[in-house]
């Protein structure tokens, strides 16, 4: 009987276990599956969001790199443009300075020429005056100054050419 009681207890326990499984499956399987599905969906959503964020970050990084490259290129272009402008302005200043110096040199040359002519004229006048004085002493007579000047100027012209 002991074996019979044990077998009937085992069978009864197996039947109770199967009934318990059906009850658990009927009452707890759907809510548990629902919770598991929600967890799975939440995890999948998190994974998808992470992938989307990673793609957005990569796009942002590419755009940032492109903007940085464009900024560097634009900066180089601006520097080159201002360098060309500075060279142009520098060349204009040099050209203006050359023109100014040429103008000053020309004015100085003209002024020197005028002073030279003035000096020559003054020397001629002094030579004429000295010639008059010398000729008066040499001739010991006083001839008309106008006539004497004409004679000396003719003499200077002949000697000067």
Cα gap 81→77, rounded to integer Å = 6
- Secondary element (H or E) of residue 49: helix 30-139
Sign of CA dihedral 67, 68, 70, 71: positive
The whole-number pLDDT of residue 42 equals 92
3-state secondary structure 111-144: HHHHHHHHHHHHHHHHHHHHHHHHHHHHHCCCCC
Low-confidence ranges of the chain (pLDDT < 70): 1-5, 133-134, 136-143, 158-161
Cα gap 140→137, rounded to integer Å = 5
Name the 3-class secondary structure at 71: helix
Residue 152's CB is within 10 A of a number of other CB atoms, namely 19
152 within 8 A of 132, measured Cβ to Cβ: yes
- Secondary element (H or E) of residue 145: helix 145-160
The whole-number pLDDT of residue 2 equals 59
Residue 119's CB is within 10 A of a number of other CB atoms, namely 10
Report pLDDT digits (tens) over 131-161.
Answer: 776 676 666 555 677 777 777 777 777 666 5
Cα gap 123→59, rounded to integer Å = 94
């Amino acid at each position: 009987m002991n074996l019979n009681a044990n077998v009937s207890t085992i069978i009864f326990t197996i039947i109770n276990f199967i009934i318990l499984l059906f009850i658990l499956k009927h009452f707890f399987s759907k809510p548990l599956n629902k919770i598991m599905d929600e967890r799975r969906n939440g995890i999948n959503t998190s994974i998808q969001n992470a992938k989307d964020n990673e793609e957005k970050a990569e796009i942002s990084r590419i755009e940032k790199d492109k903007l940085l490259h464009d900024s560097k290129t634009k900066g180089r272009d601006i520097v080159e443009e201002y360098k060309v402008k500075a060279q142009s302005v520098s060349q204009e200043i040099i050209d203006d300075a050359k023109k100014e110096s040429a103008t000053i040199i020309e004015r100085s040359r003209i002024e020197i020429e005028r002073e030279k002519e003035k000096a020559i004229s003054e020397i001629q006048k002094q030579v004429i005056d000295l010639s008059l004085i010398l000729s008066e002493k040499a001739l010991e007579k006083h001839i008309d100054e106008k006539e004497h000047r004409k004679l000396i100027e003719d003499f200077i012209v002949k000697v000067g050419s």
